[in-house]
Amino acid sequence: MAPFGKIYSYPGNWRVQRAQVVAALNGLDVPLVDDFKMGETNRSPDYLSKFPMGKVPALECADGFCIAEGAAICMYLAGNGPAAEQLLGPTGDAKTKARIAEWSCFAENELTLNIMIPAVMSVFKVMPYDEKRYDFHAANVERALKRLEVAAKGKKYLVGEQLTLADIMVAGPLFFGLAFLVDSEMKKAVPETVRYLQGLSELPEFKAAFGDLKSIETRLRP
């Protein structure tokens, strides 16, 4: 079977890994571009003609359709395959679709932003360390986890009785955050969330994309 498309990105990008989970559930072959070089490939005239802002990750489909933004890539892949109604909600069920969208927005607005600012200071080291700013975003992650703790209590999935895009979107930034920011003290306050994430990490599609779930005792600072 010919690939559905190809993803431009550097290795280990969690935004790509969650897209790979979606693709696997829909039976789509979406490999990474082999010769991608961050800062070179995404600044080339050819790349910018397809993705004008030079953003990564970006998806180029076999039919010529091109789309950037990690969340949009996941949504597009979710809608193209036999698991579309599972991932995005059944046709005609506006409430389920809205709930999945709500959690997807939560993942981008409450988790991704607040996890990535500390990451660019302590993991990627492309921003000067600012302790006050680091702690501000870490506190926002704690606040978001408390909201997730209420929703995850006694549940395997966030929306309904099966895996949806909501779970994949939320898991992506948190799996990354567990490796450097969400430490033992933070996890102690949200045991249901820890159980929920551990359950997702053991699903074969997550295991194939993310590998073993990483977890730290003390958060990483520069």
Co-location of 126 and 97 in the same domain: yes
Q: Which two tokens stand for residue 221?
A: 């600072």
Range of the domain at 24: 5-86
Q: Is residue 56 part of a domain?
A: yes
Co-location of 57 and 153 in the same domain: no
pLDDT score at 173: 98
Name 98's Cβ contacts closer than 8 Å, sequence gap at least 6. Answer: none
Q: Is residue 109 part of a domain?
A: yes
pLDDT score at 2: 84
Task: Give the model confidence (pLDDT) of 139-156 as tens digits.
Answer: 999 999 999 999 999 999
Rounded mean pLDDT, 59-64: 98
Co-location of 94 and 156 in the same domain: yes
Co-location of 94 and 182 in the same domain: yes
- How many Cα atoms sit within 13 Å of 186 on the Cβ side? 24
pLDDT score at 1: 66
**CA dist 185 → 135, 147, 188, 191, 216 (Å):** 14, 17, 5, 11, 10
Co-location of 113 and 82 in the same domain: no
Rounded mean pLDDT, 8-20: 96
* Furthest-apart CA atoms within the chain: distance in Å: 51
Sheet with 58-61: strands ordered across: 5-8, 58-61, 66-68
107 band by pLDDT with thresholds 50, 70 and 90: very high
Co-location of 43 and 140 in the same domain: no
Q: Is residue 221 part of a domain?
A: no
Mean pLDDT of the chain: 97
Query: What is the count of structural domains for the chain?
Result: 2
Task: Give the model confidence (pLDDT) of 77-100 as tens digits.
Answer: 999 999 999 999 999 999 999 999
pLDDT score at 151: 98
